[in-house]
């Protein structure tokens, strides 16, 4: 065994070890650290869903918190007003976020790069302002909505941190599995093609507009699902939980981890959630450090912490050239 | 923003309308000055300088510090203090802009589109938190008596002198910039660089110096706007740069990004639109109106109102 390089070990073994470690985690640490990991898990779900939009399809989305908010508020409103069990609302929240994404991204899907980025920021802000302004008395204004019920699984209600840990872990495994399949599917390959060269993709007969829309809709559905989990876990939702900063953190998880890379998203979420906890004494300066890390990462390691296989292949082919997937500039 | 605009009731009298118009123009000239920074940087680098709004905020904080130390040193005349505040703060923010370009943007030139966006966001986070650490997380307040509280009564309307002075100063700064860009050799070099880096280089233009100059002028103008806003509202906050910057960016897109007169016109239109919509429809939705306008413009007319520069493949 000693002579076998680590990289040559079958990837299935690594995945199995990672999953075993994840399952064992709550037995090794106290409740506080399990709870930290629960938040981290929600960011993983958000990062994985945003990865479809930013990583696979190469669309800049800095308003992912809007979809997250739609999911969370759908759950909060329907469960507190109509008493619908929050577990049933899991798919409903995902569908609501997906429908919202469809409606708002349809007119803007032709925009490129920076422009799309700015429009998504705009949508994120509009959603937040709308939540604060409490249209029709639905969203509860600045204070939000309290008393969201916990999900009832039939045999028991998910309540303790450990139960939430496994509840979230289940969805992370589901997302990772689903996205791995998606990445290698016909749709996933079409997204890669669009990301690398949209004109060429169109020439190959790929329906770029529909597929870009699909990326937004699927990514939003994932965020809506994460929103449901967040709402039931916190039992309350408020507009400030969905501000631009949240979108920015999600975007950074995808880019710093390695655009388009599932293990990258996992690693970056762990770093994003765990490092501030480890450096509590620098709490006031941690955002400063975070900003510096964003700049330095882009200069010295633009491929991210755990680059996608696609990236590594390209580096081998044309060493020295930066194959950063460019989403194209509107002025090209 | 620290404090909402003084809201005039949606009465509909002529006087109120004129008041709103003046408010809108003053707010708009502030947006225009900040929008110029976005549009000039976009012109030469095709980059949204996400740190620009925070440089604007840095300008207001530096101005507060300068004002406090000037008054502390016994200087009390606004005619002495204000020029000192404006010049030092604009100069320092300009230098900060150049430093950010050198450290966060220049190493990423030609590295695709994703990396500079993240780096720019990172730079914005750094400035915001550095200011927060240096000054604390509370509001900073401009000292009393720095600006005259005088008001003019014109035809029964109560017009603050400061508001008019802000508008006039903004217009003067914009006129100077316009003449500089259109009538001087350096201005021609900036225009050439925006059009085509390679050709500009062949004409003997030092691209890096032009980019440096743009990163000096843009943030300096942003700082001037920030100081005026700060003097008007009297208090500044370390997150104020973000939303204000986003709206100024909206103004830049409104006028056609990369287009300098467009940014000026776009700022004025945005200011008027926002003020009138807040005054006559709903002030709680004021910020949302600006973003709705931004999205509408990008969907309906992506080249902006003065979009003479053809934006292809959008």
Give tens-digit pLDDT for A294-314.
Answer: 899 888 888 888 887 766 666
With contact defined as beta carbons under 8 Å apart, do B274 and B27 qualify? yes
Alpha helices in chain A (DSSP H): 11-28, 31-50, 64-82, 89-105, 113-133, 161-184, 186-196, 198-203, 208-234, 244-257, 262-278, 286-300, 309-317
Q: Residue A5: what pLDDT?
A: 64
Under a CB-based contact definition with an 8 Å cutoff, are residues B85 and B199 in contact? no
- Chain A: nearest CA to B100, how far in angstroms? 10
Answer yes or no: are the C-beta atoms of B2 and B237 closer than 8 Å.
yes
Tell me which chain A residues have a C-beta less than 8 angstroms from the C-beta of B132: 284, 287
Q: Is residue B140 part of a domain?
A: yes
Contacts of A299 in chain B (CB under 8 A): 104, 107-108, 119
Structure token pair of residue B68: 């406090």
Q: Is residue B250 part of a domain?
A: no
Q: Are A268 and A256 in contact (CB under 8 A)?
A: yes
Give me the tens of pLDDT residue by residue for chain B, a chain 314 residues long.
444 444 444 455 777 888 888 889 999 999 999 999 999 998 888 888 989 999 999 999 999 999 888 888 877 777 888 888 999 999 999 999 999 999 999 988 877 777 888 899 899 989 999 999 999 888 888 887 777 777 777 777 777 888 888 899 999 999 999 999 999 999 999 999 988 888 999 999 999 999 999 999 999 999 999 999 888 888 888 888 888 898 999 899 888 888 888 899 999 999 999 999 988 888 888 888 888 888 888 888 777 777 654 444 33
State the nearest Cα–Cα gap between B274 and chain A, in angstroms: 14
B251 touches chain A (CB under 8 A): no
Contact B242/A at CB under 8 A = yes
CA B120 – CA A114 distance, rounded (Å): 12
**What CATH number does domain A3-316 carry, 1.10.3470, 1.25.40, 3.30.700, 1.10.10?**
1.10.3470
A248 Cα to chain B: minimum distance (Å) = 8
Determine which helix (DSSP H) or strand (DSSP E) holds B236, and give its type and residue range.
Answer: strand B235-236
Residue B258 has, within 13 A of its CA and on its CB side, a CA count of: 21
Say which range, A3-7, A181-185, A276-280, B14-18, has the weakest mean pLDDT. A3-7
A180/B304: higher pLDDT: A180
Contacts B119 to A, Cβ<8 Å: 294-295, 298-299
**Of A112, A255, A284, Cβ closest to residue B114:** A255
pLDDT at residue B308, as a whole number: 53
Distance CA B205, CA B210 (A): 8
- Whether B312 has its CB under 8 Å from any CB of chain A: the answer is yes
The reported pLDDT for the residue numbered A69 is 97
Q: Which residues in B lie closer than 8 A to residue A324 (C-beta atoms)?
A: 111-115
Three-state SS at A105: helix
Chain B: residue nearest A297 by CA? B119
The residue behind tokens 């910057």 is: B245
pLDDT at A327 over 80: no
The answer to the question of residue B255 being in a domain is no
Query: For the residues of B127-166, what is the DSSP string, one character each?
Result: HHHHHHHHH-SS-EEPPTTSS---EEEETTEEEEHHHHHH
Query: Looking at the domain assignment, is residue B305 inside a domain?
Result: no
A285 closest CB neighbour out of B122, B124, B133:
B133
Are B108 and A299 an interchain contact pair (Cβ–Cβ within 8 Å)? yes
Contact state of B118 with A294 under an 8 Å Cβ cutoff: yes
| B119 interface with A at CB cutoff 8 Å | yes
* pLDDT for the residue B71: 84
* pTM for the structure as a whole: 0.85
State residue A316's pLDDT score: 52
A255 close to B (CB below 8 A): yes
Per the structure, the count of domains in chain B is: 1
Q: Which residues of B touch A129 (CB under 8 A)?
A: 285, 287-288
Residue B18 has what pLDDT?
Answer: 84
**ipTM more than 0.85?**
no
Measured between CB atoms, which of A119, A290, A322 is closest to B125?
A290
B309 within domain boundaries: no
Whole domain around residue B223: which residue ranges? 29-237
Q: Give the per-residue pLDDT at B58.
A: 95
DSSP A146: E
Q: Which of residues 133-172 of A touch B (CB under 8 A)?
A: 133
Chain B: residue nearest A55 by CA?
B114
Let me know if residue B129 belongs to a domain.
yes
- Picking from A129, A133, A294, the nearest residue to B121 by CB comes out as A294
Q: Are B282 and B232 in contact (CB under 8 A)?
A: no
C-beta of residue A331 within 8 angstroms of C-beta of residue A117: no
Q: Backbone phi, then psi, for B109, in 5-degree steps? A: -65, 130
Residue A159 has pLDDT above 80, yes or no: yes
What are the structure tokens assigned to B20, written together? 């709103």
pLDDT at A248: 86
pLDDT category of residue A315 using cuts at 50, 70 and 90: low
B114–A123 CB contact, under 8 Å: no
C-alpha dist (Å) from residue B27 to B4, B20, B157, B217, B290: 12, 10, 19, 21, 13
What are the domain boundaries of chain A?
3-316
Residues 6+ apart with CB under 8 A from B66: B84, B85, B88, B89
DSSP string, B242-303: HHHHHHHHHHHHHH-TT-HHHHHHHHHHHHHHHHHHHHHT-STTHHHHHHHHHHHHHHH-TT
Burial class (CB in 10 A: 0-12, 13-18, 19+), A24: exposed
Taking CA–CA distances from A123, the nearest residue in chain B reads B291
**Which region holds residue A147: left if phi is over 0, alpha if psi is between -120 and 50, else beta?**
left
Nearest-angstrom CA–CA distance, A96 and A118: 23
**Most B-contacting residue of A251, A328, A331 (CB-CB within 10 A), to test interface:** A331
């Amino acid at each position: 065994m000693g002579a076998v390089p680590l990289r040559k070990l079958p990837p299935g073994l690594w995945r199995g070890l990672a999953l075993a470690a994840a399952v064992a985690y709550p037995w090794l640490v106290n409740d506080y650290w399990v709870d930290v990991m629960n938040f981290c898990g929600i960011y993983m779900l958000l990062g994985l869903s945003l990865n479809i939009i930013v990583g696979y399809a190469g669309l800049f989305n800095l308003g992912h918190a809007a979809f997250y908010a739609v999911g969370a508020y759908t759950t909060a409103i329907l469960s507190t007003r109509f008493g619908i069990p929050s577990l049933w609302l899991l798919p409903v929240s995902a569908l609501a976020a997906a429908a919202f994404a469809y409606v708002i991204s349809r007119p803007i899907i032709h925009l490129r790069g920076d422009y799309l980025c700015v429009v998504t920021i705009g949508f994120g802000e509009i959603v937040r302002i709308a939540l604060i302004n409490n249209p029709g008395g639905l969203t509860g204004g600045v204070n939000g909505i309290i008393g969201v019920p916990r999900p009832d699984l039939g045999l028991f209600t998910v309540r303790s941190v450990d139960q939430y840990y496994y509840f979230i872990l289940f969805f992370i495994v589901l997302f990772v599995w689903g996205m791995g399949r998606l990445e290698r599917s016909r749709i996933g390959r079409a997204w890669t093609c669009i990301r690398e060269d949209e004109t060429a993709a169109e020439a190959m007969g790929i329906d770029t507009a529909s597929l870009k829309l699909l990326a937004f809709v699927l990514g939003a559905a994932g965020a809506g699902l994460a929103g449901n989990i967040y709402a039931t876990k916190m039992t309350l939702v408020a507009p400030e939980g969905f501000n631009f900063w949240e979108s920015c953190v999600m975007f950074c998880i995808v880019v710093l981890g390695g655009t388009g890379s599932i293990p990258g998203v996992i690693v970056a979420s762990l770093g994003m959630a765990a490092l501030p906890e480890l450096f509590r004494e620098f709490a006031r300066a941690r955002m400063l450090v975070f900003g510096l890390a964003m700049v330095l990462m882009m200069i010295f390691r633009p491929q991210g912490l755990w680059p996608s296989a696609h990236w590594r292949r390209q580096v081998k082919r044309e060493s020295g050239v930066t194959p950063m997937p460019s989403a194209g500039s509107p002025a090209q | 923003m620290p404090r909402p605009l003084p809201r005039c009731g949606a009465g509909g009298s002529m006087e109120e309308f004129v008041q709103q118009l003046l408010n809108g123009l003053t707010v708009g000239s502030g947006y225009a000055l900040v929008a110029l920074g976005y549009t000039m940087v976009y012109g030469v680098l095709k980059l949204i300088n996400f740190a620009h709004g925070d440089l604007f905020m840095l300008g207001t904080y530096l101005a507060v510090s300068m004002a406090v130390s000037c008054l502390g040193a016994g200087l009390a005349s606004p005619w002495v203090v204000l020029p000192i505040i404006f010049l030092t703060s604009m100069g320092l923010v300009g230098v900060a802009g150049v430093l950010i370009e050198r450290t966060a943007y220049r190493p990423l030139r030609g590295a695709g589109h994703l990396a500079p966006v993240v780096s720019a966001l990172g730079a914005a986070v750094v400035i915001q938190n550095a200011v927060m650490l240096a000054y604390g997380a509370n509001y900073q307040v401009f000292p009393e008596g720095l600006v005259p509280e005088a008001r003019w009564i014109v035809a029964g309307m109560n017009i603050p002198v400061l508001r008019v002075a802000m508008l006039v100063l903004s217009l003067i700064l914009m006129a100077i910039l316009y003449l500089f860009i259109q009538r001087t050799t350096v201005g021609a070099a900036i225009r050439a660089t925006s059009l085509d880096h390679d050709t500009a280089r062949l004409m003997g233009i030092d691209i890096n110096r032009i980019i440096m100059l743009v990163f000096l002028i843009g943030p300096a103008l942003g700082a001037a706007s920030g100081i005026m806003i700060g003097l008007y509202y009297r208090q500044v906050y370390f997150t104020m740069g973000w939303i204000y910057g986003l709206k100024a960016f909206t103004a830049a897109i409104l006028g056609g990004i990369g287009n300098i007169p467009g940014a000026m016109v776009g700022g004025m239109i945005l200011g008027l639109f926002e003020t009138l919509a807040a005054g006559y429809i709903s002030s709680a939705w004021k910020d949302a109106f600006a973003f709705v306008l931004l999205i509408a413009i990008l969907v309906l007319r992506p080249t902006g109102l003065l979009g003479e520069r053809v934006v292809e493949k959008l």
